[in-house]
Structure 1
Amino acid sequence: MKEIHLYGQSHEHDEAYIVGNREALEELVRRIRQVLDYPPPAESLMAAFTGDGEGFELRVVLTADGDMPNWLLPYYDEMALDPRADAKKPWARRPSADGTLYDKHGGIGMLTPVCGVPAPPEDEPEDE
């Protein structure tokens, strides 16, 4: 079973950690290599589990050079949260199998289809 934990930064300059068993880390390396075979934007998915057995999808996203300042900063402490309402959020976009991105906040874009994911159902509730 691919078990992996991702621990983010609470503040700027804090350490971040990727902790996983060999199977999970080898799969992560494969997914990173896979996404690098495509032009940005591209995405690859891997199924993984946390230490308590709960499953989740880990998305590896390749963005264009110079695009990182547009993405939401990853800090989770309240004092370091990104105040920009217009920052790109990786969870706000879901790809369909044909590579079309379904943006929960109103737009549609294109994604290089590295690994397909079914489109969300029409009645899926919006995340706040």
Structure 2
Amino acid sequence: MSNNNNFDKDFLSIDYYYDDQNGAGIELFYNDKRISNNSRKTVSPSNEIEFSIYTRHLTDSTKLIQQQFKPYIEKMLKENKDTLHVGTVSDFKKNHKEFFEKLTKNDSISIQFLDGKKLGERITVPVEW
């Protein structure tokens, strides 16, 4: 994110939208450290700041989906975990291209900047992988 203005740009949170629905929560990182997604963040004038966003995508449990995730589910159960980790986005996209495109179709990121202490302009951009 960059700020081309001559003044600070402040915002509280970054929202991830799955298709047209607000996400089930994200984890936000800055300089490899998890930060609150509900506290004020500032981008200084003529400055650029980079965040990493960890999303959660939910899917149905049809037999086709179960079959695609079988190796991941077996590993999850073997390790007695409650979350299905499927690797990096690049790996998942490569191994499950059609499903990945369906899962992330029309996803977007939205940031609502502050205007003093009030909510100001909201900017929404499509997610690009």
Specify if TM > 0.5: no
Q: Which protein has greater RCO, CA pairs closer than 8 Å, 6+ apart? A: 2
Between Structure 1 and Structure 2, the one with more helix by share is 2
| TM-score of the two chains, using structure 1 as the length reference | 0.30
Which structure has the larger Rg over C-alpha atoms?
A: 2
| TM-score of the two chains, using structure 2 as the length reference | 0.30
